[in-house]
Amino acid sequence: MPSTPVEVDAAVVLLGASVTAITHPLLYVKLLIQVGHEPLPPAVGTTMFGRPVLYLPGLFSYAQYILKVDGKVGLFRGLSPRIVSSTISTVARGKIKRRELQSKKDEHQNTFRKLVQETSHEMIFQCLSRVATHPFHVISVRCMAQFIGRETEYSGVFSCMVKILKEEGLSGLYSGFVPHVLGDVLFLWCCNLLGYFINTYAADDSFSQASTIRSYTKFVMGISLSVLTYPFTLVAVVMAVNNCGLAAGLPPRFPVFKSWLHCWNHLSAEGQLFRGSRLFFRRAPVTLPLSVED
C-alpha cells in the first residue's frame, strides 16, 4: 500500500529533526566560534610548506571542552528551538518541491522565463519560511551563547519568546533577520541562475556526459555559493545576540551595533567576515617566526 502525502511529510519531518539533533553539537561549536569565543589556547603547527603557525582548537577539541564544562547535556543547548525551526523549514521545502514537480508536469520546456517564475515563487516561500523560523533562530543562538558568560536567562522556547517580547518587543525576535533573508535570497538566485546557464550552454546534449554534469551542477553551485554568502549568516548570528544582555554580545567582545551594516563593517575591518566558516586547521591571526622550535 503506497504511503500518503501526510505520512511522507511526517517521515521527512522526523528525519529532519533527527539530523538536526545529531548535528547540533557541530553547530553549537560553530556558533561559539562565530561570536569570537576562544577559551582554549592555540597550538603550534606548521603549514604544508613547513612554516610554523598557531592553530586554534578544531571541532573535536572545542566539543571536548564544552563536554568538560557542561557535560553531555551541555552539548545540546538551544536544540529545542532549532527543532521547531527545522520542522517549519522542512514543511515549507516540501511544499516548494511539490510545486516544482507539478510545474515540470505542466510544462516541459526549460525556458529562462520559466526559471525566473519558479525561482520567484521559491523565494516567496523561502522568505515566508524565514519570517516564521527566525524567532526560533534568535532564541537558539541566545541559549547557546549563554555558555560564554555562564548566564541562565534563556531556557525554554516559550519562556524565551515571552522574555524577548517583554524586554525588546517584536524587533528583538527578528534581530539579524535582514542579513539572514538577504543571504537566503542571494544564494537562491545565484544558484538557480548559474545552474541554468551551465546546464543550458556549458553542458549541451551533444556532450556525452551532459546528463551527469547537470545532475551535479546545483550541488556544486550550492557548496561554492554558500562560501560567498557566509558573511550574511555570520552577521545574522552576531546581530541575534548583540546587546541582548548576554556577555557574548556586549563590550568588550562587541560594540553595540546600530544596524547590521555597522556589524558587517566592523567584522570586515577586523578581517573576521568568515570567522567560523572553518572548523579544522583554523589559523590564529599571529604567525610564528621561522626560528620558533617546538
| pLDDT tens, residue by residue, 236-245 | 999 999 999 9
Does a cis peptide bond (omega within 30 degrees of 0) precede residue 289? no
The answer on pLDDT for 179 being more than 80 is: yes
Asked if the structure places residue 290 within a domain, the reply is no
Query: Does position 169 have pLDDT exceeding 90, yes or no?
Result: yes
Does residue 243 form part of some domain? yes
Check residue 288 and give its pLDDT.
Answer: 42
Answer positive or negative: Cα dihedral of 160, 165, 169, 174: positive
Domain with residue 102: its CATH number is 1.50.40.10
Domain count, the chain: 1
Please tell me the predicted confidence (pLDDT) of residue 150.
Answer: 93
Residue 7 has pLDDT above 70, yes or no: no
191 vs 57: CA distance, rounded Å: 33
Mean pLDDT computed over every residue of the chain: 84
In a domain, 294, yes or no: no
The strands making up 52-56's β-sheet, listed across from edge to edge, are 43-46, 52-56, 282-283
Give the β-pairing of 52-56 and 282-283: antiparallel
Tell me the average pLDDT across 218-233.
Answer: 83
Segments in 107-229 forming alpha helices (H): 112-149, 157-168, 170-173, 177-197, 210-228
Confidence bin at 174 (pLDDT 50/70/90): very high
CA distance 108 to 111: 9
Segment 78-116, tens digit of pLDDT:
999 999 998 888 887 777 666 666 665 555 556 888 889
Which has the minimum average pLDDT: 30-44, 52-66, 201-215, 267-281?
201-215
Residue 181 in any domain: the answer is: yes
Query: Is pLDDT above 50 for 291?
Result: no
Checking if the pLDDT of 233 tops 60, the result is: yes
Provide the domain limits for residue 48.
Answer: 5-283
Q: What pTM value is reported for the model?
A: 0.85
Express as a percent the part of the chain with pLDDT over 70.
Answer: 82
Q: What is the mean pLDDT of residues 29-51?
A: 88
- Cα–Cα–Cα angle for 45, 48, 54, nearest 5°? 25
Nearest to 292 by CA among 48, 41, 39, 43: 43
Average pLDDT for 14-26: 90
Amino acid 269: pLDDT? 95
* pLDDT at residue 111, rounded to an integer: 82
Q: What pLDDT score does 122 carry?
A: 87
What pLDDT, on a 0 to 100 scale, did the predictor assign at position 206? 54
